[in-house]
Structure 1
Amino acid sequence: MNCPLCGGSGWIIENLNGQRKAVRCRCQFKNSISIFLKSSKIPVRYKNCKFSNFKPKTATQLRALKECEDFFYTFPFIEKGLLLYGTPGTGKTHLATATLKNIITYKGVRGIFCDFRNLLIDIKSTFETSESSTEILETVMRAPLLLLDDVGAERNTDWAKDILSTIINYRYVNSLPTIITTNLRFDLPTEESFSSKFDERTESRIYEMCKIIKVEGDDRRKESCI
């Protein structure tokens, strides 16, 4: 069905300061949002993640919800991205995805959901094909808004470290907003800390480019099975 305002042309005529000018119809914004959502690569499992259906059960979960909502409301006039860390099942990906979806839908910004483990698999798959690993990596690096999910869940290799370092360095230098989720710790120097798995330079840049937010709580996935 054609838009009742523009008849499907995508343009409407408005009088601005006494002059007739052609301007983009609102339906074009809606079409762009639909395209952006389809190209965001948000997994089917997370399609229904919203701020409204996230139920915080701990103080840190409540704080994380408020920080993500503030990030959305303020975007694009933000100074830092977000990094949500904590044990599995505490809602980090839910909140990060809700933030990404809201910004795409209401701010009209392109964004990409990228599972870091799957990214490594996709890049490796190009080694024996004609597909370019550079193109895959650049799509992630250059995204206007990037959600980098589950960083650190992959096997610890120098190659994985280099891939993450490349992404973080590019986005740091170009001041591109980034949302990161990880099970690695940022509060204590243990074997499960970010600093033990990745280089100090990458960690230092993440501290400068992201607000670090701890998310604690019971595993929601296990609770749903009880």
Structure 2
Amino acid sequence: MALGMAPKNGEACGVCGGRTYVLERRGDQAQARVCVCSESCSVCGGRGHVLVEREGVFSQKVGPRRYEVMEPCVCTRRRRRVSLFNEVGLPGVVSHAGFDNYRAFNEAQDRGRGVAMHFAHQYVKGGTDTKGGPAKGFILSGPVGTGKTHLLAATLAHLVLEVGVRARYVEISLLYATIRRGFQEGKSGGEIIGPLSDVEVLAIDELGKGRGSPFEMETLDELIARRYNAGRTTLFATNYSLEPEKKAPRAAAPPGYRTTEDARNAVREAELLRERVGERIYSRLCEMCTFVELPRDTPDRRRTRQEMDSPLHHAPGALRGAGR
């Protein structure tokens, strides 16, 4: 994004819109930087800290006394949060994802945005809810291209840049690949999982993806178990259904015979997240997260955009020819 001029007469900056930071894509990563309008700080004059007056009671005899302490300036906190955001690991393709530019095609998507936005705006740094317990995350389920990663990115961006939360994003199959490469370099899986276990908020994308090998299942189980036991908040997105269990079995077909309905049921069972991650992990997800499932007929936004931009869509007679 091009650099802009500092705002004048109290007007919002045309580059950052008043946020004081800019989000942009750098290679395959989403990155942040301090906006040009906020590079020079009028509060501390570039010192990075300010004196703040406080009041406290050090003895009952003396009573309240006022004193000054040195605190980081708002510009220092801004730079720290920008640095934290650049460690999250969000994909570059969602660098500009926000709640305001998420397009909902149906009521379920609108609810998904509402759940994510409420979580982000109500989250208290430290990971506790209003009752003092672990803050409950959410899991978004739906077909590909329905904006699940968009909402994860919007949530993490708000938590990191507006609240100052340390967070990470990981796509599960890439995590498996990273651990395998680590084995070749003499690293243990725990060395890679450790930082993901300890971070305050973790977003795991594409949950359930993979071959379901013992290595993958053990890795996923260890990561979720560590976070569950530590009471840390975790967000998820998956292409697999959140339905709790298989449908009741139909009457068995004769040996050697497989009906169309049998085949459909087998596919449907494979699409359940519970089948992909196992009972232990699924049970913990039920306690850790609010479930949001998007209908199977929710439009693929990427595909819809491509079809709308296609020359065939705009060609004369395209609609007439489509029905032939």
How far, CA to CA, are the matches of 2:189 and 2:275 in structure 1?
Answer: 27
User: Aligned partners of 1:127 and 1:23: how far apart in 2?
Assistant: 44
Paired with 1:203 and 1:84, the residues of 2 have a C-alpha distance of: 14
Aligned mates of 2:159, 2:303 — CA distance in 1: 30
Partner of 1:10: 48
- The equivalent of 1:142 in structure 2 is 198
* Distance in 1 separating the partners of 2:120 and 2:46: 31
Distance 1:68 1:59 in 2: 14
Aligned ranges 1:65-214 → 2 under 5 Å:
65-76=113-124, 77-78=128-129, 79-187=135-243, 189=246, 190-214=269-293
Worse-superposed segment, 142-151 or 131-140: 131-140
Aligned residue pair count: 226
Q: Which residue of 1 aligns with 2:109?
A: 61
Q: What is the match of residue 224 of structure 1?
A: 305
Give the drift of 1:141.
1.4
Deviations 1:108-147 (A, max 9, x none): 0011010101000000001211344322111111111101
Partners of 1:127 and 1:135 lie apart in 2 by: 10
Larger deviation: 102-111 or 182-191? 182-191
Distance (Å, rounded) in 1 between the aligned partners of 2:164 and 2:282: 30
Q: Secondary structure at the match of 2:286?
A: helix
> Using the alignment, how far apart are the partners of 2:67 and 2:242 within structure 1?
58
Report which structure shows greater RCO (CA 8 Å, sep ≥6): 1
Alignment partners' CA distance in 1, 2:53 and 2:229? 43
Separation (CA, whole Å) in 1 of partners of 2:187 and 2:47: 37
Separation in 1 of the partners of 2:40 and 2:293? 48
The answer to which of 142-151 and 182-191 deviates more is 182-191
Q: Which amino acid is 2:141 matched to?
A: Y
SS for the counterpart of 1:13 is strand
Superposition deviation, residue 16 in structure 1: 2.4
Q: Secondary structure at the match of 1:225?
A: helix
- Match of 1:222, SS state, is helix
In structure 1, the partner of 2:25 is none
Worse-matched range after superposition: 80-89 or 126-135: 126-135
Q: Secondary structure at the match of 1:148?
A: strand
Q: Percent identity?
A: 26
Q: Give the one of 33, 42, 46 matched to 2:90.
A: 42
- How far is the alpha carbon of 1:159 from its aligned partner? 1.2
Q: Which structure shows the bigger proportion of residues in helix conformation?
A: 1
TM-score by length of 1: 0.94
Deviations 1:123-174 (A, max 9, x none): 0001211344322111111111101001112222121111111111111111
Q: Is this contact kept in 2: 1:92–1:215, CA < 8 A?
A: no
Q: Distance in 1 between matches of 2:191 and 2:183?
A: 13
SS at match of 1:151: coil
Greater Cα radius of gyration, structure 1 or 2:
2
RMSD of aligned residue pairs (Cα, Å): 1.5
Give the secondary structure class of the aligned counterpart of 2:43.
coil
Q: Please, what TM-score do these two structures have when normalized by structure 2?
A: 0.67
How far apart are 1:27 and its partner, in Å?
Answer: 1.2
* 2:97 counterpart SS class: coil
Q: Residues of 2 paired with 1:132 and 1:8: CA distance? A: 43
Q: Over residues 194-226 of structure 1, what are the superposed CA-to-partner deviations in whole Å (9 max), with x where a residue is unaligned? A: 121222111100100111111231111110110
Is 132-141 or 160-169 further displaced after alignment? Answer: 132-141
The one-letter code matched in structure 1 to 2:282 is E
Partner of 2:77: 29
Farther-moved stretch of structure 1 (213-222 vs 130-139) = 130-139
What is the aligned counterpart of 2:294 among 209, 215, 219? 215
